[in-house]
Structure 1
């Protein structure tokens, strides 16, 4: 039986202190989102008369409904394409021993080294020439290319740690490379797939610069751009801003709570792999 020692007490105090540090900004966010605009007291002071008027006003004034739909479509489409392309590309790169495999892998890894800001102008010109400026599909195309190198890197590292016994058994039974990947390999990639899904979804959902660049001048906008519209040069309604921030957090939080067990198992399996 483990005894409650002084070290255990110190660790508990440290963990509680860290939890308080991380929870404090969330408290301020919720506190100000529920506060009336006329209340100008300290953000730390608890709101005496909470109201939901800020949420309805932010929804109507900022056009958050359309922005929310755009963000969901862009994030879902981009992540699905990235996972499909990266997993299919990583399989031959991880299993092949030919010289072209290593060279192709290093070429893909250049996408991790070179910052995408260097190609902002040519990418913008390409999207303009394709007639996709102002369309949500321009962002889907952008994110699908931007996130593939990192996701492929994750898949290749995980695949190289997987034994080939199941694939060899499938090939003996007459399964080709495509069937072996679909029915044998890809189900074993669930841990890294969940990890890649979470990382890519958060990056796409929170991105501000790219939607501002490619959707500028159109009626389409994403949640970060819509929230930025509440910040004026001279006047900023912080109650509406924090209410809009909470609205933007709800979809991501709902997905996390729905997939909480799979996400935790995915991270744990990824670390073990």
Structure 2
């Protein structure tokens, strides 16, 4: 017998819709005003555009050097995800399967690192990065993301790997598989649900991050989308038509990524609940 549709459920749905609309109000203002002329933005901010000004996006695209900053953001995000998944999955696997006290100590250190505020280590980080030659380098930025993202990534992998039966690995070893092969051929394919979740979480963080790239990347040719948008706003603060169009251009890739990965997010959540 199915659940009855009650007045309580209806009330909850209405409240959820209202809350959703409240959160969408800022997006409405940004998108609608990005399609207006500058004079129309000043005279009537809340209304829909009388004439759609798509030229705003063309001008912002050119002024923002969008293809270049998009490529930089894409390289940083993809490279950081690759190194985080590869190194952290192997590290978590060894920490789970190595039954020694040192493994627990190392794991707790990674977990403890998650609560350290980034602002408290900014200055030592920049000094150390400068000494190692990592400043003004996309690959130096990727290495830093590996360091800052390892805590939460290892924590998530660690919890998931504990649910994988050891007998599968023992059977593979009996069949002649090397320890390296056991991980990549047996264990890693089973980590797909949590790997997808980790990639989504890290991509949202890395793509939107402003503070770390602002400290590391000084060359305008190396700027990521959030960094380029910040400087664009500084240059075109009085031209809100161009500034808002640039802001929308920065949001669009992330929205496309999120909606394309939506089914994987749901699958990862349901898989975790079943486990």
**What TM-score do you get using the length of structure 1 for normalisation?**
0.92
- How far the C-alpha of 1:233 sits from its partner, in A, is 8.4
1:250 is matched with which residue?
A: 252
Contact 2:237 2:243 in 1 (8 A): no
Distance (Å, rounded) in 1 between the aligned partners of 2:118 and 2:146: 13
Q: Indicate which of 171, 177, 193 corresponds to 2:195.
A: 193
- How far the C-alpha of 1:68 sits from its partner, in A, is 1.1
1:97 is matched with which residue?
A: 99
- How far the C-alpha of 1:174 sits from its partner, in A, is 2.3
Contact 2:68 2:221 in 1 (8 A): no
Contact 1:194 1:267 in 2 (8 A): no
1:166 is matched with which residue?
A: 168
Extract unaligned runs of 5+ from structure 2.
none
Q: Deviations over 1:104-149 (max 9, x none)?
A: 2122223213233333223212222233322212211111111011
2:58 is matched with which residue?
A: 56
- How far the C-alpha of 1:22 sits from its partner, in A, is 2.3
Q: CA RMSD in A?
A: 2.0
Distance (Å, rounded) in 1 between the aligned partners of 2:6 and 2:183: 51
- The structure whose residues are more often helix, as a share, is 2
1:240 is matched with which residue?
A: 242
Output aligned runs, 1:99-248, within 5 Å: 99-232=101-234, 235-248=237-250
Contact 1:82 1:144 in 2 (8 A): yes
Q: Is the alpha carbon distance of 1:140 and 1:6 closer, same or farther for their aligned partners in structure 2, counting shifts above 3 Å? A: same
Distance (Å, rounded) in 2 between the aligned partners of 1:4 and 1:125: 61
Between the two proteins, the alignment pairs up a number of residues equal to 273
Q: Is the alpha carbon distance of 1:246 and 1:98 closer, same or farther for their aligned partners in structure 2, counting shifts above 3 Å? A: same
Q: Which range is displaced more, 258-267 or 68-77? A: 258-267
Q: Which range is displaced more, 188-197 or 166-175? A: 166-175
Q: Is the alpha carbon distance of 1:8 and 1:132 closer, same or farther for their aligned partners in structure 2, counting shifts above 3 Å? A: closer
2:67 is matched with which residue?
A: 65
Contact 2:136 2:219 in 1 (8 A): yes
Q: Is the alpha carbon distance of 1:233 and 1:223 closer, same or farther for their aligned partners in structure 2, counting shifts above 3 Å? A: closer
Output aligned runs, 1:68-83, within 5 Å: 68-83=70-85
Say which SS state the counterpart of residue 147 (structure 1) adopts: helix
Contact 1:230 1:237 in 2 (8 A): no
Say which SS state the counterpart of residue 44 (structure 2) adopts: coil
Distance (Å, rounded) in 1 between the aligned partners of 2:26 and 2:220: 33
Distance (Å, rounded) in 2 between the aligned partners of 1:272 and 1:41: 54
